[in-house]
Amino acid sequence: MLSRVAGALYRLGRLVERADHLARVTDVHVTLVLDRGREAEPDFWPHVLELAGLDPIRAADYQSALSTAVEGGRGSLRESIHRARGEAMAVRPSLSTEAYEGLNELYWTLDARISEANFHDFSVRVQRGVVLLYGLVDETMAHDEAWEFLRLGRQLERARSVVRLATSKLDWLNKGDDAVEWAAVLRSCTAFEAYRWRFSDAITALRVAEFVLLDQTLPHSARRAVSEALAGVRRIDGPGTRSGPYRLLGRLSALFEYTDAREVVDDPSGFARAYASAAAHVEDSLSATYFRPTRVPLGQPAVAPPIWSSSEQSNQQQ
């Protein structure tokens, strides 16, 4: 597959997943304020935007937070879907007609005016539009390299979003066990019912962090997303190949496999930094291996020959 096409499909997957997560996180926290029946604290909406990966400075109140989340420029919901549609148009032959039309329908869903009264309905339409798009991609496209790169972007964006959500919430609540706040985290990962089926006791920070970060069976857990990304890269590379992305994703997967939930709760910032560092290496390796495989960075020094070649040259000269 052309590196240009692979890169566009990968970015398409990331952008759609980002829009889905942003719509859900915003809607869940709007509902949280309504359920509590009192005015939100001054720092509530900046915290919500931070959870969603947006600039918290732009959220003075509910209206400004909603405007930033939906149409606030780079990273907003509208901008993410707009860019995703642009990526899809650039690689239109690689997508099925059904998948392309599903994304186009999602794009036009965002054309409606949004207000406080109808934000929940709008958010639900976006989330269902994304789920429909994922279903169309899985059911109407061949599960070849195009499908793999699109899915790879989706899974890595999901892992990043969930890690940011859980670790930021731990810092925000100072590791406290506010059941309502942690239920909001579960709902932001579509995991509330799955959690209640698994655990019958109180909702705690430790249990929620373990569930959304380290559970292997939850579709929206960070560990599951990284595992799926690793399996996808293995299929892209083919049997017997150990590429840079495969090795680095294996290390990232090990971070989740061998980390205890108590360690995350005790030091959420440390875990977030460890994840960000490993994920950055994965992104660099993906770019160098699949998306820009022939590009040589300016100023890169020449690769030194193996030490044994120097020895052979010296022996020949003698």
- In this prediction, residue 294 has a pLDDT band, given cuts at 50, 70 and 90, of low
Q: How far is CA 133 from CA 9, 18, 26, 163, 182, in A?
A: 14, 14, 21, 24, 29
Tell me: the pLDDT tens digits for 31-90?
888 777 666 677 788 888 888 888 777 666 777 777 888 887 788 898 999 999 999 999
Say yes or no: 10 and 67 in one domain. yes
Predicted confidence at residue 46, as pLDDT, reads 83
Same domain, 60 and 186: no
Q: Is residue 193 part of a domain?
A: yes
Q: Token pair of 305, please?
A: 């020959």
Q: How far apart are CA 282 and CA 248, in angstroms?
A: 6
Domain end among 119, 141, 163: 141
Same domain? 119 vs 241: no
CA nearest neighbour of 204 among 172, 220, 180: 180
The pTM (predicted TM-score) of the whole model is 0.88
Is the pLDDT reported for residue 315 higher than 60? no
Does residue 35 sit within a domain?
yes
User: Is 306 within the bounds of a domain?
Assistant: no
N- to C-terminal Cα distance for the chain? 48
Q: Does one domain contain both 1 and 17?
A: yes
127 with 200, same domain: the answer is no
Domain stops at, among 141, 164, 193: 141
Q: Is residue 309 part of a domain?
A: no
- Answer yes or no: do 276 and 177 share one domain: yes
Residues 6 and 135 in one domain: yes
Residues in the chain, overall count: 318
Residues 91 and 106 in one domain: yes
* CA dist list (Å): 93 to 7, 9, 115, 283: 15, 11, 37, 25
**Are residue 185 and residue 69 in the same domain, yes or no?**
no
Closest CA to 172 of 24, 315, 52, 61: 52
Residues 195 and 99 placed together within one structural domain of the fold = no
Residues 191 and 275 in one domain: yes
184-195 CB burial, b ≥16 within 10 A, e <16: bbbbbbbbbebb
CA distance 119 to 248: 40
Token pair in block for residue 106: 């999602």
Number of folded domains that form the chain = 2
Tell me how far apart the alpha carbons of residues 269 and 60 are, in angstroms, rounded to a whole number: 25
Q: Render pLDDT for 98-109 as a digit per residue (tens, 0 to 9).
A: 999 999 999 988
pLDDT for position 168:
93
Work out the pLDDT band at 143, boundaries 50, 70, 90.
very high
311 within some domain: no
296 pLDDT above the threshold of 50: no
Asked whether residue 39 is assigned to any structural domain, the reply reads yes
What is the residue range of 171's domain? 144-292
Is residue 307's pLDDT more than 60? Answer: no
Contact call for residues 80 and 88 (beta carbons, < 8 A)? no
Residue 37 falls inside a structural domain:
yes
Same domain, 247 and 260: yes
For residue 8, is it within any domain? yes
